[in-house]
Structure 1
Amino acid sequence: MARKLDRVYIVDIEATCWKEKRPDGQISEIIQVGIVEFDLPSGSISSKVSHNIRPQYSKVSEFCTELTGITPGELEGEKNFSQVYDMIKERFPHLKNYTWASYGNYDRKHLKEMSDLHKRPYLFGRTHINIKNLFALKWGLKEEVGMRKALRILNKELVGQH
């Protein structure tokens, strides 16, 4: 099936992380996923969702809280990855038919790993835009830059946590 090009989905995730070595028995798990549906003809956001996800195989470290702003307490009682997966699939049933994007490849790889871990088909289509790479090409940079630096180049402020 040909890709539909009237919208693009922009995805951002946060995952458990540690300042030093990962503790034995833990894995890096997605603890938050945000999806924006961007309508290309109108140039506007047509839909957006954000879900916190309760980790099943790891704990949110102090370092992770400093980095993401997400505390362990915020995730207590939240849905697990499989439950959030089902919610996203219901809300955006045709994700596979559209191009999607993220800032770098980390989100793409981690979403695939988590889908495999939970024995779920990958929600997203094959066509992925690496915004980090595209930004460097567009601005004639010698290498990819982090989001904060990209925003400084654009003279924009970061909204939220990173």
Structure 2
Amino acid sequence: MKTLIVMASAVALTAATPAFAGHHGTSTIVETAVASPQHETLVAAVKAADLVDTLGGEGPFTVFAPTDAAFAKLPDGTVAQLLKAENASTLRSILTYHVVPGKVSSTDLIGMIEDNGGEARLETVQGATLTASLSDGNVILTDAKGGTATVVKADLEASNGLVHATDSVSMPG
């Protein structure tokens, strides 16, 4: 029964939204984001933070990629401030908080959550932890400040890892 629930949840996550139309798993994480009309702000942020080479590198990485709508939820002026050159280190910290080393599929993540009493702690490249849980069949990420992001599209294959699109920007402590 547990396997059936995991599979149903993974299928529901994968079918949720068309975040990366036309993606076939041969592009890097950065190339995948560039091809997505829903991740223009993320791409601009990755470039401003000088993370293109890192996220285009060998990996593997798992990226919880906030959509443009997720960035739009931030207070007015936040994105413009973060994109300024003098704020590159803050932006880099926020972006690397969305990256987990290794390749963590939705099935793996749901299994980790179920095997750990309803929560999975994910150590990010930034060094802090994101906590994953399930709510109504959706994977929810809770950040260091108590904010939550829902995975709206899962298991987008890239040549150097996986991308899971989220509906909010997670913030490190």
TM-score, scaled relative to structure 2:
0.23
| Structure number having the greater helix percentage | 2
Q: Which has the higher contact order (CA 8 A, sep 6+)?
A: 2
Q: Please say which structure displays the higher CA radius of gyration.
A: 1
